Amino acid sequence: MAYNECLECTLCLKGFVGGEEGRLLPRCYHSFHKKCVDRWFHSHSTCPLCRSKVEAEVSE
């Protein structure tokens, strides 16, 4: 399923509605609500769906 066809966050199982921030993971292209996946990343460094490694962004 393409990113623009994804209708729900696979962490909370709720749909995306207008104005909600989403996060698209760079390697696997899985998408989640920003709040849901950011909570996951506090204790994991992998995609919650496929477990591919997710590198942290470096801010300058």
Q: Residue 48's domain is classified under what CATH number?
A: 3.30.40.10
How many other C-beta atoms lie within 10 A of the C-beta of residue 33?
21
Q: Which amino acid is at 10?
A: T
- Tens-binned pLDDT, residue by residue, of the chain (60 aa): 444 456 789 899 999 888 888 999 999 999 999 999 999 999 999 999 999 999 876 555
User: 57 lies in which domain range?
Assistant: 1-60
How many structural domains are present in the chain? 1
- What are the Cα distances from residue 3, in Å, to 28, 31, 44, 59? 11, 7, 22, 25
Tell me how far apart the alpha carbons of residues 25 and 7 are, in angstroms, rounded to a whole number: 16
What's the half-sphere exposure (Cβ side, CA atoms, 13 Å) at 42? Answer: 6
What is the structure's pLDDT at 49?
Answer: 95
